Each structure stands twice: as C-alpha cells, then as structure tokens.
C-alpha cells in the first residue's frame, strides 16, 4: 500500500533536525506534501533556513 504524507510544521521541523523516525517515514513515503504556509518561514535569505529547506525537499 502506497503511503502519502502531508507534513505539518512540527513534522517538518523533526525532519530538518534529523529525527530518525520522521526521516524514515518520509523516506518510505511514495509522496510527501508540504503546505506552502509551512514552507513560508523557511524561505528567508538566511543560510541556515535555506539549508533546512534543502534538507526537507531533497
């Protein structure tokens, strides 16, 4: 059965921090959806925010 995930802010933070369970769940999912309002704060110009966003989207 294919797993599709919709990540809220808390789960995105978990993935960006490298939480093993969250990362494993995202890695196993066939599709991962992130609402634009969750990504908004991560789209600042700071290098740290860009790094977290890159980790989340890759």
Full-model pTM: 0.66
Domain ranges of the chain: 4-57
SS3 state of residue 4: strand
What is the per-residue pLDDT for 22? 92
| Cα end-to-end distance, the chain, whole Å | 23
Question: Could you read off the pLDDT of 21-58 as tens digits, one per residue?
Answer: 999 999 899 999 988 887 765 555 556 666 666 666 65
By C-alpha distance, which of 39, 29, 40 is closest to 4? 29
For the record, the structure tokens of 12 come out as 């995105």
For the record, the structure tokens of 42 come out as 């991560």
Neighbours of 16 (CB within 10 A): 18
């Amino acid at each position: 059965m294919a797993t599709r995930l919709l990540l809220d802010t808390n789960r995105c933070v978990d993935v960006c921090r490298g939480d093993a369970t969250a990362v494993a769940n995202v890695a196993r999912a066939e599709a991962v959806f992130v609402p634009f309002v969750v990504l908004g704060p991560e789209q600042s110009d700071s290098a740290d925010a860009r790094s977290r966003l890159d980790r989340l989207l890759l």
